[in-house]
Amino acid sequence: MTVATIDSRPASRLQPACDMPVGVWLDPVEPQVAVVESAAAAREADLVASSDAAIPASVLVPRFSGEPVRVDRVWPPHPRGCGERWPAEARVNDNVEPGRLPVAYAWMMLHQQQTAQSPLWRWRHDDGESTLAPAEAIAHTLADLTRTFAPGGDSASGVGGGAGARSCVTVVPDGLCEPARHALIAQSRQLGVNVRLLWRSVASTMAWCDEWASELDPPSNLRDALSRTPGSLLCLHLGLTHWELSIVDLVWRETHHGLTLTPLRRRPTAPMLPSFALELLHRVARRSLEMSYQQPTAGRVWELMWCTPWLNRVIDLLADPAPSRGGGPADGIEPLHNLSPHVRAREFIRQQWRQGMQQLFGSTRDTTGMVPHHAAMTPTNDRIRDWCAGHRKAIDGRTLVGAVVTGQVARVAVDGEPLGLRYLRDIWPRPMNAMLAGQSHTPVGLLARCGAEHAARLRAAAESGEDQAMFLDTLPRIRVAAMKDGRPQWLDLVDDHDLPVTGHVRWHRFERLAGLGVRAGRPAITLALWHDDLPTVHTVTGRLPQRLISPRRFNLSVSIDPGQGFPRIEATPMDDPEGGTIAIPIDWRTLRDTGRTPEAYVKA
């Protein structure tokens, strides 16, 4: 049994864990990997301390033809995009995206994705321009971590999710849109990792239940359990890149262990809030350089943030009331001689943070070292207040039984109190049974640990063939444009979209959607879809074996793995004169944005 956070040790020093359940939480600063033997063992696992040499994980954008995508997460860093003036590939300038994509930025870009087309990280260099999609960057980091901490599998046969693929459960934000999730799964599969996504709110709830379930009165029988729900849990994530609040209902479900408290995740109703922490830390880095009489150029700030362990150390300093790694701020980083002046006294860092929080910036202010279109996302104090107030209204009248607060910002202590608890009180004035990740009494690597636990349960369920719910999920609402009664309408593809479904079991539409007409001469079936994760209508096609010589009608069958990307849609011809029943799968790689809202599309 091994649970590990990321460090620089070679994988051979960890126990071989080629077929053990793996859980990953790709934190922007300190990713966590948990490898466990069984679900029960996950709670008691020991943790390996993180290394001082770990830097925030970044992905090196390939420059040359055929160059692989590489992950850089240990000091000293690869020269590419490290902020030095030389070599040319190391340079970082204002208003330019360099050759290094930090995972934090990749998450931000993924959160921003609103359409089928992913935003791209563009690096202009002497040989031209290289681009990298954020999902690809995150998938590569995931594959790299899995390879390092859970060695085994066969890279060659595992590509495309083949027999040699490794498996892992990755915790993802609830607000991640479906195209982003789909891209993440597809990219990981190409890299030989069969990844299964677990909602962050569900993982948090599982951790909370481990700790607090005994506090709730269990019902005496199933009828009682069905009539009485214990309440809801507030899951607040205050991350370095985004903040998110989710409400997870708790329900009693009967399993072979008896009645078990099970999370029921609802679809998120409010968008995520960009975090101010990234910009604030850039400012602290800049100020720290100024205090050392160095020019706070974009390259220097970038280097300090993403190519040294500075960020990890500063967050530790901000979080820990007492130093956990020696007495002084620069202890343990002797090899990083040029870093030590910038890890200044705890009070300096805290003062800068406090001042920054009081100002909470307009986007016009200087944000040296930040990639420009991300810098403008930082919310003002008013916006944060509104966000908290909005959520306060949303939970009004609900029975909350507890709260889980996760994220790097939640750990930061200001005036002796962690920010996580302060913002929790802004939303829920009288919190109870609150669990703050990163506190001494909560397990370290909480999200990764829950991911591994979920992976272990999935494996056990697959081996035993049981179909017990580990959590309940709510499906997205997806509608297809069709002519009905002579006028265009939106028909639900997922007719159970408001009902809870079992989280890890594939859902099938009970009745096929019948009678979808396709005109003669068409080489493919094209569907216009309205997905509630996407603001505009998208089209998707399934190629027919040959052009239709006469108009035909098709049935649509739909199935979904909850939370695991797009549904599987197959079109089957109705009344085939030749009696054929070839199902034509809809290819999600053909997803295109029409740029029209559902109302405008139907009118057109």
Partner 1 sequence: MKPRPSTQPVRTSAAPQAPAVSRAGKGAVSPASGARGGAPVPRGASPQVATASVVQPWSTPTGLPSESKLIGGEGRPCVMTPAWVEAVAVAETGEWLPKVGQWTDDRRLSWKKFELPSTTKEGGDAAVDEQMLIRLYDGKRARGMVRVSIQHALPRLRRHSDAQPAESVAQSNESAASPGATPPVEPTHWHRAAEIAHRMVDSHVELIARLSESTGRDEETFHDGPGGGTPIWPLGRVLDMWRSMNDHESARPPLIVQMARTLSQLLTEVCTQPRQILTRQRRLQNAGRIAEVDADCLRWLARQPGKTVAEKAGAKQRAMGIARVEHADTLENRLVRDLVRRSISACDAYLAEHAPVGAVAGAADADSDVSAVSKFSLTLQQLWRTSPIANVGALAGLPRPNHALQHDRRYKAIWKAYVMLVRQQVEQDQAWRWRHRMWAEACLLALLASLAEVSPRASALQSDVLLRAGQLCGRSIDERSGLGRFDVIHKDAGSTIMLITGDQIPDYRAVAPFPEELQRMSPDAVLICREAQWPDKPPRQVMAVWTMLDFDLNSDELAERASRIDVGLRLIRSASKLSGLVIQPAIGGRAAATIDAGTCRGLRVTLPLQPHVSQLAEHIVKEFGLR
Q: Report the residue number, 366 or 587, with the smaller CB distance to partner 1.
A: 366
How many CA atoms lie less than 13 Å away from 326 in the CB half-sphere?
Answer: 9
Cα distances (Å, whole numbers) of residue 378 to 272, 282, 360, 411: 12, 12, 8, 19
With CB under 8 A as the contact rule, the residue among 21, 23, 79, 329 that binds partner 1 is 79
Binding pattern for the stretch 485-504 against partner 1, x by CB under 8 A and - elsewhere: --------------------
What are 236's strand-pairing partners? 245, 405
DSSP per-residue string spanning 318-338: HH-SS-SSSSSTTTT-TT-TT
Query: Is 290 one of the binding residues for partner 1 (CB under 8 A)?
Result: no
Query: Is 328 one of the binding residues for partner 1 (CB under 8 A)?
Result: no
How many CA atoms lie less than 13 Å away from 351 in the CB half-sphere?
Answer: 7
Q: What are phi and psi of 571, to 5 degrees?
A: -105, 130
Taking phi over 0 as left and psi of -120 to 50 as alpha, with beta for the rest, 198 belongs to beta
Q: Which two tokens stand for residue 37?
A: 């033997």
Instruction: Tell which positions 383-402 bind partner 1, by CB under 8 A.
Output: none
Q: Centre a 10 Å sphere on the Cβ of residue 295 and count the other Cβ atoms it contains.
A: 9
Residue 34 DSSP symbol: E
Which residue, among 193, 80, 91, has the nearest Cα to 138 in the 3D structure?
A: 193
Contacts of 183 (CB under 8 A, 6+ apart): 118, 133, 135, 136
With CB under 8 A as the contact rule, the residue among 18, 44, 76, 587 that binds partner 1 is 76
Query: Is 70 one of the binding residues for partner 1 (CB under 8 A)?
Result: yes
Query: Is 89 one of the binding residues for partner 1 (CB under 8 A)?
Result: yes
- Alpha-carbon distance of 179 to 159, in angstroms, equals 21
Query: Is 155 one of the binding residues for partner 1 (CB under 8 A)?
Result: yes
CB of 127 to partner 1, least distance (A): 8
Residue 197: its H or E element: strand 193-199
Q: Report the residue number, 143 or 493, with the smaller CB distance to partner 1.
A: 143
Please tell me whether residue 48 adopts helix, strand or coil conformation.
strand
Query: Is 295 one of the binding residues for partner 1 (CB under 8 A)?
Result: yes
Query: Is 86 one of the binding residues for partner 1 (CB under 8 A)?
Result: yes
Q: Report the residue number, 126 or 382, with the smaller CB distance to partner 1.
A: 126
CB of 154 to partner 1, least distance (A): 13
With CB under 8 A as the contact rule, the residue among 78, 459, 477, 522 that binds partner 1 is 78
- Alpha-carbon distance of 53 to 74, in angstroms, equals 6
Instruction: Tell which positions 8-67 bind partner 1, by CB under 8 A.
Output: 64-67
Instruction: Tell which positions 124-143 bind partner 1, by CB under 8 A.
Output: 126-127
Residue span binding partner 1 (CB under 8 A) among the ranges 76-84, 106-114, 240-248, 545-553:
76-84
With CB under 8 A as the contact rule, the residue among 282, 300, 391, 538 that binds partner 1 is 300
With CB under 8 A as the contact rule, the residue among 77, 230, 438, 443 that binds partner 1 is 77
Residues at the site binding partner 1, with contacts judged by CB under 8 A: 64-68, 70, 72, 76-80, 82, 84-91, 126-127, 155, 292-295, 297, 300, 334-335, 337-338, 341
